[in-house]
Structure 1
Amino acid sequence: MTMAESNETRLARFTGWFRRRPTSLEFWELLVTDRRVVWCFVGESFKSLLLRADTGERGRREVERSSAERALALDDRNFAVALESLRSVHLREGSRFRRTALTVTWRDDDDASTSVELYSTRSSDSQVDVVEALGEESALSHVDIGVETSGRLL
């Protein structure tokens, strides 16, 4: 199924991100369409330095080739957030000693606010241009979108 067949237009893809959990790192990809943000789980690694590895490469390739609908079905942990529920997308640029962080906030069905912070993997690009392009999208005019740049080494 292509993006056209699902009546969704892909606006952006955030690739190379992980979420810190108590004992592991979860690797995630985000697909932003004109209808929703699809969160795609692509792998998990232990926090231990001896057992740590970026296990998401295969999953990233699969998500890249998939429509939003197919990407959503790739793993039971995948989920979607409707664009109407999206509140903010903020990217804080990293530095020599701090990883780039992407924070996405949305309103749940029960009107509670959920915020998830992801960090860039070593192999990911800055993706500042992706966030800035989303700020120009009319479908996201209600969303607070921003980039915090860091001019310092730390």
Structure 2
Amino acid sequence: MKRNQILLSSALLLAVSSAPLNSANALFDKTRFVLHLGAAYYAFHHWDLQPYQQGKFAAGAPGRTANLVKGGLALAFAAHEVSVARKVAVNSKSPLLQKLTGGLNTLSSEMSSIGSSLTGGKVNPAELEKLNTDTQKFSSDSAAAGQTIKDVPVAIPGL
């Protein structure tokens, strides 16, 4: 069942993200925005935050190198998804989405930077904790504005 959910989510995300941007798709801006951010949040929570909290990034942990590389790749994917969500918001006529674009540049750059560090074998717990705090803050700001963001399970190629 879980595999089917992931495949369905992946197919939906691919279909929504590959559609050309035009006025006919303006109705789907909020959906696309939430799907891209949900995929980014899932990648961060599933491949970075959970392994970090479980001690899989700690020196001497079994499979540490593989976990760090997976975490770095997941954050590269997440940064891309946040950038796509930002483009959707900037190009949207929705005042809500345009209001939410401010924090997305920060999230994307943090994810890229931390992802590069992880792929290089370096873990900075303070950076991971700050990114977690920033994603939670953005989620609560978004929910307060009327747009809830939830993790969207997607398959990340190679992970």
Bigger proportion of residues as helix: 2
TM-score by length of 1: 0.28
TM-score by length of 2: 0.27
Bigger proportion of residues as strand: 1
Which structure is higher in RCO with an 8 Å CA cutoff and minimum separation 6? 2
